[in-house]
């Protein structure tokens, strides 16, 4: 039973994508202190909010497990399912004992209204430029959501049905939030969205995603801006040129591939070919210095033969990129791929995933070895605790460890790389940023 004279305790869990984590941070931010108190998810709370993910069956199961755990922790608490799962699995979720609310509306405003009602207080929404940064304090590199929704309708993906059509945050709002992040001392911000390359603006002037990145670069509020995952068609010549010329946009691109075989890409309803993907990579490499490239790959897609997987493996190997995120295919109800004949056995998909993950490990190690002897710019994310070195991230996405006391979280330093550490991480010593190698 809640004591009416203490704050209403809320615990959050955000599963899956960066967008969920950003939405969770947004809701936290708009819960006034004194009325609400955020507590760890492992603690007793008056309300538990689970930002669910439904991109795979495993994500569904993990979401349900968090709901079970919350109810077990405090049977008298409200348990709220937010995020993507409720938009396609509301009836399934409502069968879970102890689940109090199923938020079929993914907007943070709807969730806030529920929490305010539970706490017995009136909700007053701030204007769109409200952006208190207190809730990002646990991150050195906060996310900034610039876009939501997707209309690609890949044959395997449920997200267009859960997140709706693309919607863009106005440029003015994005720049306002970046400026406030900079004023609060952050050195890097990660731009995120469900399909962020679809960002666009028609008023007051027409802008594409490349135009947005150029505007952010010209504003120069922060030393580092990182672009999260984009689609190959969104990597336009204009965007490549902006990244290549920028002093703040990090030379790190994560460009979804999904398959290295054209016949599989066609069944996936991906609107490009392997030839197009390679051309975009080569165009980027030709002008972006120190480019670090990652890709998503799905294995075990319906009807994927041994020969098609071999084509994917050989294609990716020939690209010589730095890392992969590999996912065994997971059938999602009400998607075209789930109805296709020739579903691949899960064990076969797991074996194929293991082969690509081994390739990714070798690629990461190769990229790390090439960095030895160079001086790189590193943002410290975790200072030394006396037992472990300080840990940070380079502009080109290497994890770098620095065995030096006195380094502070959110500090940017130069580091001369001396050796590998923990497989493909780097270990080095502090150096002057002006000593960075011309070829590094």
Whether 196 and 330 share a structural domain: yes
Residue 155 domain-assigned (yes or no): yes
> For residue range 407-424, what is the model confidence (pLDDT) as tens digits?
999 999 999 999 999 889
Whether 112 and 148 share a structural domain: no
Whether 103 and 159 share a structural domain: no
Whether 338 and 418 share a structural domain: no
Residue 131, pLDDT score: 42
Residue 280, pLDDT score: 98
Q: List the alpha helices (DSSP H) in 235-273.
A: 237-245, 262-268
Residue 77 domain-assigned (yes or no): yes
Q: Residue 69 belongs to a domain with what CATH number? A: 3.40.50.2300
Q: Is the confidence at residue 376, as pLDDT, over 90?
A: yes
Residue 126 domain-assigned (yes or no): no
The total domain count for the chain is 3
Residue 4, pLDDT score: 55
Q: Is the confidence at residue 156, as pLDDT, over 80?
A: yes
Cβ–Cβ under 8 Å, residues 74 and 44: yes
Q: Is the confidence at residue 45, as pLDDT, over 60?
A: yes
Q: Is the confidence at residue 1, as pLDDT, over 50?
A: no
Residue 108, pLDDT score: 83
Whether 338 and 409 share a structural domain: no
Lowest pLDDT segment from 1-10, 216-225, 396-405: 1-10
Q: Domain residues for 78?
A: 8-119
- Report residue 150 as tokens: 């997707």
Residue 123, pLDDT score: 60
Whether 376 and 356 share a structural domain: no
Residue 270 domain-assigned (yes or no): yes
Whether 356 and 376 share a structural domain: no
State the pairing for strand pair 78-83/47-52: parallel
Whether 159 and 109 share a structural domain: no
| 203 three-state secondary structure | coil
Whether 264 and 361 share a structural domain: yes
Q: Is 83 left (phi over 0), alpha (psi -120 to 50) or beta?
A: left
Report the pLDDT averaged over residues 91-109: 89
Residue 107, pLDDT score: 78
What is the torsion angle, in degrees rounded to the nearest 10, for the CA atoms of residue 149, residue 155, residue 156 and residue 159?
10
Q: Which residues contact 53 (CB under 8 A, 6 or more apart)?
A: 15, 16, 17, 20, 59, 60, 62, 63, 83, 84, 85
Residue 125 domain-assigned (yes or no): no
Q: Residue 421 belongs to a domain with what CATH number? A: 2.40.50.140
Whether 385 and 425 share a structural domain: yes
pLDDT exceeding 90 applies to what percent of the chain? Answer: 70
> For residue range 117-144, what is the model confidence (pLDDT) as tens digits?
888 877 655 444 444 443 555 578 888 9
Cα–Cα nearest to 100, from 52, 60, 37, 49? 49
Burial of 152 (0-12, 13-18, 19+ CB in 10 A): middle
- Count the alpha carbons within 13 Å of 254 in the hemisphere toward its beta carbon: 17
How many angstroms separate the CA atoms of 231 and 195, rounded?
Answer: 8
Q: How many residues does the chain have?
A: 440
Name the one residue in this structure whose structure tokens are 């109800």: 333
How many angstroms separate the CA atoms of 327 and 347, rounded?
Answer: 13
Lowest pLDDT segment from 31-35, 119-123, 318-322: 119-123
> For residue range 165-224, what is the model confidence (pLDDT) as tens digits?
999 999 999 999 999 999 989 999 999 998 999 999 877 778 999 999 999 999 999 999
Whether 256 and 333 share a structural domain: yes
Residue 360, pLDDT score: 97
> For residue range 332-342, what is the model confidence (pLDDT) as tens digits?
888 999 999 99
Residue 128, pLDDT score: 45
How many angstroms separate the CA atoms of 341 and 343, rounded?
Answer: 6
Residue 130 domain-assigned (yes or no): no
Mean pLDDT of the chain: 90
pLDDT exceeding 70 applies to what percent of the chain? Answer: 93
How many angstroms separate the CA atoms of 403 and 430, rounded?
Answer: 9
292 compared with 194, residue with greater pLDDT: 292
> For residue range 256-288, what is the model confidence (pLDDT) as tens digits?
999 999 999 999 999 999 999 999 999 999 999
Q: Residue 203 belongs to a domain with what CATH number? A: 3.80.30.20
């Amino acid at each position: 039973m809640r004591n009416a004279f203490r704050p209403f305790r809320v615990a959050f869990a955000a599963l899956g994508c960066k967008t969920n984590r950003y939405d969770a941070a947004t809701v936290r931010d708009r819960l006034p202190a004194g009325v609400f108190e955020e507590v760890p998810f492992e603690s007793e709370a008056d309300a538990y909010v689970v930002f669910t993910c439904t991109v795979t069956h495993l994500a569904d199961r993990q979401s349900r497990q968090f709901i079970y755990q919350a109810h077990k922790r405090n049977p008298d608490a409200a348990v709220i399912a937010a995020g993507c799962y409720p938009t396609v699995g509301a009836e399934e979720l409502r069968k879970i004992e102890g689940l109090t609310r199923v938020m079929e509306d993914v907007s943070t405003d709807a969730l806030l209204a529920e929490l305010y009602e539970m706490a017995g207080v009136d909700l007053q929404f701030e204007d769109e430029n409200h952006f208190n940064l207190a809730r990002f304090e646990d991150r050195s590199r906060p996310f900034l959501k610039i876009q939501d929704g997707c209309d690609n309708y890949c044959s395997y993906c449920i997200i267009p049905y859960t997140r709706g059509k693309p919607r863009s945050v106005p440029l003015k709002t994005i720049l306002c939030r970046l400026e406030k992040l900079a004023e609060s001392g952050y050195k890097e911000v990660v731009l995120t969205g469900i399909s962020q390359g679809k960002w666009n603006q028609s008023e007051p002037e027409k802008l594409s995603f490349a135009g947005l990145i150029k505007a952010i670069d010209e504003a120069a509020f922060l030393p580092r801006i990182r672009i999260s995952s984009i689609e190959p068609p969104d990597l336009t010549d204009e965007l490549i040129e902006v990244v290549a010329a920028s002093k703040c946009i990090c030379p790190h691109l994560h460009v979804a591939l999904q398959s290295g075989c054209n016949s599989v890409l066609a069944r996936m309803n991906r609107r490009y070919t392997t030839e197009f993907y390679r051309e975009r990579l080569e165009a980027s490499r030709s002008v972006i210095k120190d480019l670090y490239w990652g890709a998503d790959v799905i294995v075990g897609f319906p009807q994927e033969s041994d020969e098609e997987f071999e084509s994917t493996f050989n294609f990716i190997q020939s690209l010589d990129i730095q890392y992969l995120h590999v996912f065994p295919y997971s059938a999602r109800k009400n998607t075209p791929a789930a109805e296709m004949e020739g579903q691949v056995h899960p064990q076969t998909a797991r074996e194929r995933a293991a082969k690509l993950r081994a390739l990714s490990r070798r690629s990461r190690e190769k990229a790390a070895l090439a960095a030895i002897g160079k001086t790189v710019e590193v943002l410290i994310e975790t200072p030394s605790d006396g037992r472990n070195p300080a840990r940070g991230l380079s502009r080109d996405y290497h994890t770098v460890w620095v065995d030096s006391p006195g380094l502070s979280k959110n500090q940017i330093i130069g580091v001369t790389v001396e050796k590998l550490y923990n497989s493909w991480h780097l270990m080095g010593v502090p150096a002057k940023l002006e000593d960075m190698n011309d070829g590094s």
